[in-house]
Amino acid sequence: MRTKTTAGGIGGDRHRSLLAWYRRHRRDLPWRRTRDPYAILVSELMLQQTRVAVVEDRWRRFLERFPDVEALAGASADDVLALWSGLGYYRRARQLHAAARAIRDRHGGRVPAEAARLRELPGVGAYTAAAVASIAFDRPEPPVDGNAARVLARWFRLRGDARSGPAARRLARRAAELVPRDGGAGEWNQALMELGALVCLPRRPRCGACPVASSCGAAAEGRPERYPGPGRATRPVRESVVRAALERNGRWLLRRNGAGETPEGLFEFPALPCPSGRATPAAVARLVERRWGWRVEDCRELGTVRHQILARSILVRVFAARVVAGPAMPPRSAGTFRRVALSRLSELPVSGATLKIARLLARR
């Protein structure tokens, strides 16, 4: 049983080693160069379930477009979603938008500093509330993200599902014990998460480079990758779908997903109700005409695109064709369509799969 000694307590050797490592090795991320709570809130919302490398560029563009709470709160949902295109989990964008409006309407336009108040904002859970409170306001709150959970699980040999249940509670308690109470909470929390991101890796931890390996329980056991415990259980089911890229006068027809279709409200190349295995250019051309009334020429299979929607792994077969006759827009019952040039795709909210298909079309 590891007991809490002076050396291991707050301000002791463990803290000093990790903080020294962090100051030396921390990545120069754009949101670490600002103290603006709004900018930090945006970064944390984006970083939920999304890697740093992807978020970096998106965060810059998002803040350029919506530099403060007021700008975001006053924006349209479509504009916010357009800046989010390809990031996935589009609910986060709607929630961030709603959070900005709540901050404007209920907090006088200032991001609240209390974790409890932050927690009330849409899209802000326990982790994000603690992260913003500590990083932007230096409150002694302990955010436990996947990285911190893994570091703590190994450090203190806490096994089990880190995402919920008793193991998650033990991790939260440890994190709360460790966070400095009189300054430096944000720095400490980021150090813990950075260690998880750079050194205490899920599969092949680099214990040789770890500043706290000498006090790490899992490293002492020699099998650190066994912590925290079992991860995802189910394997994704494989599916296949056919989508039509229809061009008319240099513009492509996109359909907006309706209620119940995911991702809801985003534009995608329209799907066809065709058993993917039997899709041929002729069959696709026939379906397009029957479904939307468009007569097409030069129908051919352009290629395939893969994407994941949680439990499903979807293979998209893309057929491209030129519309030569038919209505400007299909009947209302077929959904909402829009004609858009590839160069203007970034102005619309679109899914990642749509961006992939657009890349396919661009280098045709």
The residues carrying an active-site annotation are 44
Q: Are 285 and 321 in contact (CB under 8 A)?
A: yes
**Which one of 11-19, 65-73, 117-125, 287-295 is the stretch in contact with DNA (CB under 7 A)?**
117-125
Binding status of residue 229 toward DNA by CB under 7 A? no
Is position 281 an interface residue for DNA (rule: CB under 7 A)? no
127 binds DNA, rule: CB under 7 A:
yes
Candidates 142, 160, 180, 196; binder of DNA (CB under 7 A) is 196
Residue 202 found at the interface with DNA (CB under 7 A) = yes
Q: How far apart are CA 261 and CA 267, in angstroms?
A: 11
- Give the max Cα distance, the chain: 80
Is residue 123 part of the contact set for DNA (CB under 7 A)? yes
The region of 68-76, 183-191, 277-285, 300-308 touching DNA under the rule CB under 7 A is 300-308
Q: How far is the CB of 362 from DNA (least distance, A)?
A: 15
CB of 315 to DNA, least distance (A): 8
For residue 138, the minimal CB distance to DNA (Å) is: 19
Task: Point out which residues pair with 297 in neighbouring strands.
Answer: 322
Name the segment binding DNA (CB under 7 A); options: 71-79, 215-223, 231-239, 323-331: 231-239
Positions in the binding site for DNA (CB under 7 A): 47-51, 53-54, 86-91, 95, 122-129, 145-147, 150, 163-164, 196, 201-204, 231-232, 235, 262-263, 306-311, 351-353, 355-356
